[in-house]
Amino acid sequence: MEFKQEWLHEVLEARSKAYTPFSKFNVGAYLVTKDGKAFHGCNVENAAYGPTICAERTALVSAIAQGYKPGDFELIVVATGAEQPSSPCGVCRQVMKELCDDDMPVFMTNTAGDVIESTVEQLLPYGFSGKDLTND
């Protein structure tokens, strides 16, 4: 899939909404559903650190709260201000494994517009999710 410049604009807008008084490391996410709806996500920090939520999870949880279901997602773009595009953290990879198709594109970018493309499966090979549970 070819990266679109409009996605860069959207993910940087999402990144601008981040609340990061401690790390100052703003992250934005732009999630697109298979029916064309889009959701912004940003990281929101907390002084207790554990309650902090990442941009990717913010976007996915917002979509689920609006009635979308696992597998309804077309792609996600994640942006940081780092010199190189940054990968989603392990917790976000696990949540994407649970809610997204394994072959869903994950685009990682930065404010300079550098892009790395991956998939959920490539980011979390041999991952485990609710799809693997059986009631035998």
Q: Which residues are catalytic?
A: 56
47 annotated as belonging to a binding site for a ligand: yes
> Within the chain, where are the H helices?
5-15, 55-65, 90-99, 120-123
C-alpha to C-alpha distance for 41 and 49, rounded to whole angstroms: 18
What are φ and ψ of residue 92, in 5° steps? Answer: -65, -40
C-alpha to C-alpha distance for 88 and 67, rounded to whole angstroms: 24
100 annotated as belonging to a binding site for a ligand: no
98 annotated as belonging to a binding site for a ligand: no
112 annotated as belonging to a binding site for a ligand: no
19 annotated as belonging to a binding site for a ligand: no
14 annotated as belonging to a binding site for a ligand: no
42 annotated as belonging to a binding site for a ligand: no
Strand-pair partners of 115: 109
CB 14 within 8 A of CB 57: no
Q: Mark the binding-site residues, compressed into ranges.
A: 43-49, 54, 89, 92
Q: Which residues are annotated as a binding site for Zn(2+)?
A: 54, 89, 92
Residues in the annotated binding site for substrate: 43-49
